[in-house]
Every structure is written in C-alpha cells, then in structure tokens.
C-alpha cells in the first residue's frame, strides 16, 4: 500500500525533498538520498506524522529500525506512539547477547542482529527503514522478530522501488510506503 496513491497533500513536499543521485554506490544505481528530506523540518515532521497517524492506537509496542537510516525514522515514531525502539544492526555492533539472521544479497550474504531480550513473545511490532529495494534486509528483520515470538504487524518505509519487487519477499506481511520511485 502506498500513501502516495491516497494523495495526502503532505506527500508532494516529501517526495520533492528526496534527492536522486545517479551512479551511487555504483554505476547504474539511482540512489535515493533521504538526507535532503531531513534538511526540511516541515517535510521531515510530515514524514514522521504520516507514520504516527497510521500506527498510533494500534497497540504497537515495538518499533524495530534497521541500521543506519532506519535509526533516523524509527525513534521519532516510537516516541510518538509510546513504543520501544529496537535497533537492528550489522554484526558485532550490538554489545550484548544477540540473535542473528543471515540473508541473501545479489552477490553473497549479509547478516542482521538483535539483542536477546529486547522483544518479548506476543509483542506487536513494526519494522522501519528508509527504503525497500529487494526486500532482503526487511525480510531478515521480520525473521528476527518472529523468531522471538513477536507479531510483525507491518513494514514501513519512506520509499519503495517497486520494480525490485521487495514486497514479495515479506512473506505476505503488509508494507506501507510514502513514495514510490520508478527508474524510467
């Protein structure tokens, strides 16, 4: 589901603040740079408000954010809806006991970790990242939460690259995004 199709008037300001950088990190990739969005206090606030309006009052007790850009959007949402913020990190960054989830990349593998005890069985969670591309990282994040018995209610991203079909790697879990980017 995309907020953009609902045409909330705030979305135009958000979409125009996202800068597209060609050929980063490598040739052929059109990088979606959200840092310019963060320079516009109103657009950044609107971004957070759109997620908060969707998730407030839904008994969500966990907002999991994926390192590092998920750390920018997740905490303000968590604070506003009264949920815990749980950082999901690359290996060896979290200092305590962790569980790890490996996932497949285009070439090779990567791994995401979560602290043991951060999330309890039965908690209702959302996963936040700035962007969903192939869905590998979000899929791993969902696996971590489900392995400890949490219920992943939805994944939430600012941007989706629909052509990469990341939505299909979410095991049927709903995905909510604010803007879609098509590489024309």
> Which residues are annotated as catalytic?
69, 106
Q: How many CB atoms lie within 10 A of CB 167?
A: 18
Burial profile 105-143: b = 16 or more Cβ within 10 angstroms, e = fewer: eeeeeeebbbbeebbeeebbbbbbbbbbbbbbbbbbbbb
Question: Does residue 93 bind other proteins (CB under 8 A)?
Answer: yes
Task: Name which of 87, 175, 89 is nearest 135 in CA terms.
Answer: 175
33 contributes a contact to other proteins by CB under 8 A: yes
Calpha distance 63→171 (Å, rounded): 19
Residues binding other proteins: number (CB under 8 A): 37
**Given the complex with other proteins, which of 1 and 20 has the nearer CB atom?**
20
Instruction: Indicate which single residue of 11, 18, 60, 87 sits in contact with other proteins (rule: CB under 8 A).
Output: 87
Q: Contact between 135 and other proteins (CB under 8 A)?
A: no
Nearest approach, Cβ of residue 68 and other proteins (Å): 4
Residue 172 CB, shortest distance to other proteins, in Å, is: 28
List the beta bridge partners of residue 129: 157
Q: What pairing do the DSSP bridges indicate for beta strands 109-115 and 175-180?
A: unpaired
Applying CB under 8 A, which of residues 86, 141, 158, 175 lies at the interface with other proteins? 86
Which positions lie near other proteins, rule CB under 8 A?
21, 24-25, 31, 33, 35, 38-41, 44-45, 48, 67-69, 71-73, 75-76, 78-79, 82-87, 89, 92-96, 115, 118
């Amino acid at each position: 589901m995309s907020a953009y199709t609902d045409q909330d008037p705030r979305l135009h300001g958000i979409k125009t603040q996202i800068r597209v950088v060609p050929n980063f990190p490598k040739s052929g990739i059109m990088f979606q740079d959200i840092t310019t969005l963060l320079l516009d206090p109103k657009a950044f606030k609107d971004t957070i408000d759109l997620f908060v309006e969707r998730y407030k009052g839904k008994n969500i007790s966990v907002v999991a954010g994926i390192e590092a850009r998920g750390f920018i959007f997740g905490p303000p949402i968590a604070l506003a809806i009264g949920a815990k913020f749980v950082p999901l990190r690359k290996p060896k960054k979290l200092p305590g006991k962790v569980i790890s989830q490996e996932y497949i990349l285009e070439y090779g593998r990567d791994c995401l970790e979560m602290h043991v005890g951060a999330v309890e069985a039965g908690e209702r969670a959302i996963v936040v990242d700035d962007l969903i591309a192939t869905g590998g990282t979000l899929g791993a994040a969902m696996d971590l939460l489900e392995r400890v018995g949490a219920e992943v209610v939805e994944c939430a991203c600012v941007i989706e690259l629909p052509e990469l079909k990341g939505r299909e790697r979410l095991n049927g879990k709903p995905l909510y995004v604010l803007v879609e980017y098509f590489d024309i």
